[in-house]
Amino acid sequence: MLGAFTYHNPTKLYVGSDSLEGLARELPHYGKKVLLVYGGGSIKKNGIYDRVMEILKRAEKEVTEVSGVMPNPTSDKLLEGARAARESEADLILAVGGGSCCDFSKAVAVSAYCHDDPWEKFFIRFEEPKAEDRIIPVACVLTMAGTGSEMNAGAVITNPHKKLKIGHVFSDERVFPKFSILNPTFTYTLPKRQMAAGIYDMFNHICEQYFSGHDDNTSDYLSEGLMRSVIASSTVAMKNPENYEARSNLMWTATWALNTLIGEGKTQDWMVHMLGQAVGAYTNATHGMTLSAVSMAYYRFLMPYGLAKFKRFAINVWGVLPDGKTDAAIAREGLADMETWMRSLGVAMNISELGATADMLEGMTDATFILKGGYKVMTREEVREVLRASL
């Protein structure tokens, strides 16, 4: 492992079917005022809202609500949340939902007392809060596995006016959730399409950190184990969504896929996310689906530049037998197995099915940030070609 790094993750996790009790245990550490953040109402239907409210009431908290946080939360909604946090003088922001609620809460946490336009400051100029800036603590009750937002300092915000979807991974550790509740049974009510999107999202987070570097790196061995766990558990969970073992494995894997551990000591790729975010900015499609829709075109483009890693991926993750085959044939077989698995999940395999059209190609190309950590730094032409091949 050739890279040098500092590793610290400050998020405390409560995991398991009784883990909501962790919320009761943590609440006394914070002031009276809680900003409760949730989405379009699934938590009211499945009873999680009532259970959380009961615990907040028992802890004698004053609760202000920001509801209607949409998938792919917007810069306008961020302003609304920041105002609510400031005016209610929130001591804690409690996100109850998936990655969107969790990301949104972190963005609100840094924006509530920011005198600048938060979109410009944090998502265009990528500034970090200063040491003296106030950041409201965030906690999360997770209801969907996929993003890893429950244990990282990332927040992705969409500006529909500018047609940009941008993620800021904050380096200020105050942005990490203070604690997160991971109860696998809370994910049982997730529609199958969302479950599949989350599964592909977590898998791709691992790919983004795996497809880079030429050194022998512990992180890559961890990644291979996590990928195999996703493949095994996804097959069980898609057939039987209430299989606790599979749902708990998926939840735990999603967290470790993007809590900074497996990317340590490596440069990282993240081009599927950059392409997917551009598609998302134009279509507002489900995050995981935007990734799956561009993945095969991207990885087939990338394979010759990182052939040794793609060969290793085929053998160690997909069990491809190498005997008598060329490296390229082994690598291709691995990608073919990955495609078969993706189709079995029912994730989007092209961007047309998400509403992207040929006349959006130039705009989506311009909206794609080109990163430099992977096996090939793409040219603008190559970005457009991969998007075109994804149509």
H/E stretch holding 23 reads: helix 21-26
When asked if residue 208 is in the footprint of Zn ion (CB under 5 A), the reply is no
When asked if residue 201 is in the footprint of Zn ion (CB under 5 A), the reply is yes
Angle at the Cα of 70 from the Cα atoms of 349 and 201, rounded to 5 degrees: 35
If the CB atoms of residues 19 and 290 are measured against Zn ion, the closer one turns out to be 290
Sign of CA dihedral 372, 377, 381, 385: negative
CB under 5 to 8 A by kind: which of Zn ion, ligand NZQ, none does 148 bind?
ligand NZQ
When asked if residue 137 is in the footprint of ligand NZQ (CB under 6 A), the reply is no
Minimum CB–partner distance for residue 26 and ligand NZQ (Å):
21
Q: Which residues pair with 154 in a beta bridge?
A: 169
Strand 33-38 to 92-97 pairing? parallel
If the CB atoms of residues 37 and 314 are measured against ligand NZQ, the closer one turns out to be 37
Instruction: Please tell me the distance from the alpha carbon of residue 60 to that of residue 56, in angstroms, as a whole number.
Output: 6
Contact assessment for residue 228 and residue 180, using Cβ atoms and an 8 Å cutoff = no
Q: Residues near 228 by Cβ (< 8 Å), separated by ≥ 6?
A: 317
Minimum CB–partner distance for residue 359 and ligand NZQ (Å):
24
Minimum CB–partner distance for residue 77 and Zn ion (Å):
19
Strand 164-169 to 154-159 pairing? antiparallel
Total residues binding Zn ion (CB under 5 A)? 1
| Subset of 13-52 contacting ligand NZQ (CB under 6 A) | 39-42, 46
If the CB atoms of residues 71 and 81 are measured against ligand NZQ, the closer one turns out to be 71
Contact assessment for residue 159 and residue 75, using Cβ atoms and an 8 Å cutoff = yes
When asked if residue 156 is in the footprint of ligand NZQ (CB under 6 A), the reply is yes
Instruction: Please tell me the distance from the alpha carbon of residue 302 to that of residue 200, in angstroms, as a whole number.
Output: 19
Minimum CB–partner distance for residue 311 and ligand NZQ (Å):
26
Contact set with Zn ion (CB under 5 A): 201
Contact set with ligand NZQ (CB under 6 A): 39-42, 46, 71-72, 97-101, 103, 143-144, 146-149, 152, 154, 156, 167, 186-187, 189-190, 194, 198, 201, 258, 273, 287-288
